[in-house]
Amino acid sequence: MGEPLVDRSAPDGPIAERWDRRRFEAKLVNPANRRGHTVIVVGTGLAGGAAGATLAEQGYRVLQFCYQDSPRRAHSIAAQGGINAAKNYRNDGDSVHRLFYDTVKGGDFRARESGVHRLAQVSVEIIDQCVAQGVPFAREYGGLLDTRSFGGVQVSRTFYARGQTGQQLLLGAYQSLSRQIAAGQVEMRARTEMLDLIVIDGRARGIVARDLVTGRIDSYLADAVVLATGGYGNVFHLSTNAKNSNATALWRAHRRGAYFANPCFTQIHPTCIPRAGDHQSKLTLMSESLRNDGRIWVPVRAGDDRPPREIPTSERDYYLERQYPAFGNLVPRDIASRAAKSVCDEGRGVGPGGQGVYLDFTDAIARLGREAVAERYGNLFEMYERITAESPYETPMRIYPAIHYTMGGLWVDYDLQTTVPGLFAIGEANFSDHGANRLGASALMQGLADGYFVLPSTLGDYLARLPRDEAFRDVDRDHPAVHACVGEVTDRLFALLSNNGDRSPESFHREIGELLWEECGMARDEAGLKRALERIPALREEFWQRIRVPGSGRELNQSLEKANRVSDYLELAELLCLDALHRTESCGGHFRTESQTASGEALRDDESYTYAAGWEFTGAGRAPVLHREQLNFEYVHPTMRSYA
């Protein structure tokens, strides 16, 4: 146990006034001085792209990095369903306060009130920003922006662009970023991966990165570093994340002093195409928006393997509508996922191995017509048919829960700054706004809020408060700390290349992923977590003895990339399980089987666990130190979360 964590940048006073107060009290860097500052932004998704474009527009010099061949290939492009905003265009009772309330409740009361309320406030500005950029949101017949519902809410606040919302929003951010690249304000380095963080005199001053094409390892220096590198869901091997999404930037920052918060808060998405076999390398998400019109069911009788069209309505169990009549198929993701697992465990699952439930559009097609359904979900239906060779117009989709988003991440204060001064984490890379469960369509909202509106205010305050002799002091590449960091990265990659073992990086990734899914997936218990914690150190030791990486480090070498990322997963997995073991309550996506109600719902322990867990790295294989940040609720009082 370490000293308690305190967010000293968070303002007090009425919650609706806190963000405005913080912005006014933030010190400013004048336009002429901004030209003298360089900021590194790692990542070009919605958070990183928005941040890079906005900081450059303010006048800062921006060095931006992505491992893809183009910034527009960031994983944000895969988000399908929509983005939340409290515009209340439907006049159905929505408001900033209701979005704030739904998000705190949806996160099972494990998020900060101040940050969530700011997110709800800024959501309104995000839509205006994106419309001005030309994002083609869906519109009603009269021309007004259309909205639909997502899980955990009873209003329509989700703006969408068919099933391509992430792609369209990313193109909007990419346009803004491209303008700054053309203006010379942003220096974009594609196919370059961050491998370590440079910390000098206690401040983040740069990164070490590898050119993935030439293999060159180099240092890049700046006045502040922003991580917008997404989450760590791929530690589970099978997830909905892009295969190259990884946790190396986060983990390297953690090893350099940034606390890692709530790593056990990982989200299971209920609407994924079921696993087809051992050959699979990733899973495919079907948008939560499908639950607006699709009805989820399984046969009433266990072992009923008749085709779905041959099972009459009287012999179907629409279990979400039965158990949660107030929200029906639009309950939050953690609840829908556990319910699906429960009926499959009872032997009522469908498809190969009984690991699936039906998502049926028969009633929607009869009510709206096939053309209207195709207009809303056509591209999603086409994607499903290409993968499964089954048409959702003719037969129900089969879905099953899978690892998707990570609510945990680097601990940040209200200003989005980590415990390393000058290092900021935005979007899914931080832990700040979603508590133990993220509501659907809130990831895009947080990424753009952090990048367009929050970080540009708070990063300037950090630079303005630096002593004058430090604010504009450049770091030389010959600085001992820079040489040491580059040397450590070089030695690490050399060790991977020279080991000459008999196992591939993929084999280790698959093994650690399956271990985590079994022992720290949808359900966790003390015995399983202890089994995992016993196996992980042994697997990590085996990795360094048996790993084999063909090729060299002086060329494109995807096996080397993968091996380096897996070595980080083998350390992160241990922290994830430790966090899950210490938190003996159930909340949101973290479900301890020892802590549940009589009806099988998550049972929180507010007296013991109303805090964010910030873990401090003390060395590989050594016990981390836990720092607790107490969560206080003034406006949304924790209650038993009910969606019935």
Active-site residue, from 98, 205, 333, 565: 333
Is the CB of residue 601 less than 8 Å from the CB of residue 621?
A: no
Is the CB of residue 300 less than 8 Å from the CB of residue 316?
A: yes
Contacts of 250 (CB under 8 A, 6+ apart): 227, 229, 232, 260, 409, 410, 425, 429
CA separation (Å) from 457 to 148, 177, 417?
31, 18, 12
CA angle 223, 226, 232 (to 5 degrees): 150
445 closest CA partner among 29, 200, 124, 203: 124
Q: How far apart are CA 25 and CA 218, in angstroms?
A: 38
Q: How far apart are CA 103 and CA 110, in angstroms?
A: 10
Is the CB of residue 148 less than 8 Å from the CB of residue 158?
A: yes
Q: Say if residue 539 is exposed, middle or buried (CB neighbours under 10 Å; 0-12, 13-18, 19+).
A: middle
Is the CB of residue 296 less than 8 Å from the CB of residue 319?
A: yes
Q: How far apart are CA 348 and CA 370, in angstroms?
A: 29
Is the CB of residue 589 less than 8 Å from the CB of residue 407?
A: yes
CA separation (Å) from 561 to 67, 124, 282?
10, 40, 18
DSSP 624: P
Amino acid at 605: D
- The DSSP string of 37-61 is -EEEEE--SHHHHHHHHHHHHHT-E
SS3 state at 626: strand
Q: Is 333 one of the catalytic residues?
A: yes
Q: How far apart are CA 525 and CA 523, in angstroms?
A: 7
Q: How far apart are CA 431 and CA 340, in angstroms?
A: 27
Active site residues: 333
